[in-house]
Structure 1
């Protein structure tokens, strides 16, 4: 025999259900409705200049180009999960003066796993005659590693930032040059997982630890839930990231 819920508690139950519904709607809206992509809003880097535009074909991507010179290197960058491409424009700006053209795809819901193969069209269109590198932060790094495992021959190198290949992905015998950047105080990408991921990367993979840095130090998108607390200024970490990436892509 069914038992009716006491009438005096029905208003409380209704209120709790409304709060839960509001939370779910609000959370879903934040995921589906992404913040605007504003080019150049927070992309300055000391002593660097670049031309940045939002392109629409073959799919939307942020295009960051050198000023007054042709690029000899193409860097395709996969953003972290739910992070807008503009958060990494600073790195493209910094590299532009060194002859690097950086392109950052705009993924549905800002999740690189919704279009792991988008590097293909960008490399086809912009990579002719250039050295081509693929980079990714966090979940974007895992997606980039997956692409690199399938298309190592299209790339000159892979750069992982607070990221590691998925457990079923191995680049061990790919012959690809790989740079792995680990933030010392990262509270999102576990250091043990990042170091453990080296077993699925080529033996000569270069690991660079960024002292005092955290997961969100790689992009300009603000604090991140669960992340550590940085003990060095952002400018210091960004200079270390820029230097490590530049040294890596400058090698023959």
Structure 2
């Protein structure tokens, strides 16, 4: 009996190890910033861009008093959002993009708390997230509504456990016409979980991968506009909305 129990435990441990290794290998097969993006946003050479505490921080020369925390999509490297980070910083925002454990935002939901407490400068913080990163951002915001000025969903939406419909949290949802992963139907269904005054913006011709600059993504549809057109539209809509909210 003891031998059976011993080998059962060994077998279970072996299965756990194999499953973890498979998950780890899968999580490391990430989407990286394109070469054109790394040439456009020179992270290592820009004195206003800093890598700190596993965060990519974009500082502004002339702060407008607002900060943006952007949770990456699943398996997407933080550098892929460098154009959004740099462009918003040029408009006065402090932007922080945290690297997530195993590149999955759900394993780092509370990164926003660490970021907010780390900055000496008092800022009005907006929490944003792309795809699964937006789901995690909504989860954090729902439990910390006194710390967050507003939520910006990028091809994303909250789960039922983060139901904002009865509150007045400012919410912006940006989605894309040709998104094969977060569809228009998904966005439509999410409206019941958002405040009645939530703002929605559809990017005509855009797709899921266009919320970052990392090339094609499995399961996505083809965009009919360039990634730079989509990025510029995202940045403009975010800026306009945050200035009003």
Flag whether TM exceeds 0.5 (same fold).
yes
Question: Shift of the alpha carbon at 1:215?
Answer: 0.2
Change (3 A) 1:153 1:85: same
TM-score (norm 2): 0.82
- Aligned match of 2:7: none
Higher relative contact order (CA 8 A, sep 6+): 2
- Aligned match of 2:9: none
Given candidates 37, 41, 48, the residue that maps to 2:38 is 41
Q: Is residue 150–residue 171 contact of structure 2 (8 Å, CA) maintained in 1?
A: yes
Change (3 A) 1:81 1:63: same
Indicate whether 1:196 and 2:189 are aligned.
yes
Given candidates 33, 45, 49, the residue that maps to 1:52 is 49
Question: Shift of the alpha carbon at 1:160?
Answer: 0.1
Can you list the C-alpha shifts for 1:175-194, whole angstroms capped at 9, x where unaligned?
A: 21000001001001122111
Q: Is residue 59–residue 93 contact of structure 2 (8 Å, CA) maintained in 1?
A: yes
Q: Is residue 176–residue 206 contact of structure 2 (8 Å, CA) maintained in 1?
A: yes
Q: Is residue 37–residue 86 contact of structure 1 (8 Å, CA) maintained in 2?
A: yes
Question: Shift of the alpha carbon at 1:25?
Answer: 7.6
Structure 2 Cα separation of the partners of residues 118 and 238 of structure 1: 24
Q: CA RMSD in A?
A: 2.5
Partner SS for 1:168 = coil
Q: Say how many residue pairs are matched.
A: 221
Given candidates 137, 141, 145, the residue that maps to 1:144 is 137
Runs (5+) with no aligned partner, structure 2: 1-19
Partner SS for 1:238 = helix
Map 1:97-246 onto structure 2 (within 5 A): 97-126=90-119, 128-246=121-239
Q: Is residue 65–residue 123 contact of structure 2 (8 Å, CA) maintained in 1?
A: yes
Question: Shift of the alpha carbon at 1:29?
Answer: 2.5
Question: Shift of the alpha carbon at 1:31?
Answer: 2.1
Q: Is residue 34–residue 109 contact of structure 1 (8 Å, CA) maintained in 2?
A: no
Indicate whether 1:77 and 2:61 are aligned.
no
Partner SS for 1:41 = helix
Indicate whether 1:87 and 2:87 are aligned.
no
Structure 2 Cα separation of the partners of residues 220 and 147 of structure 1: 25
Structure 2 Cα separation of the partners of residues 204 and 127 of structure 1: 32
Structure 1 Cα separation of the partners of residues 159 and 210 of structure 2: 22
Runs (5+) with no aligned partner, structure 1: 1-23
Question: Shift of the alpha carbon at 1:220?
Answer: 0.9
TM-score (norm 1): 0.80
Partner SS for 1:62 = strand
Indicate whether 1:29 and 2:31 are aligned.
no
Structure 1 Cα separation of the partners of residues 171 and 142 of structure 2: 12
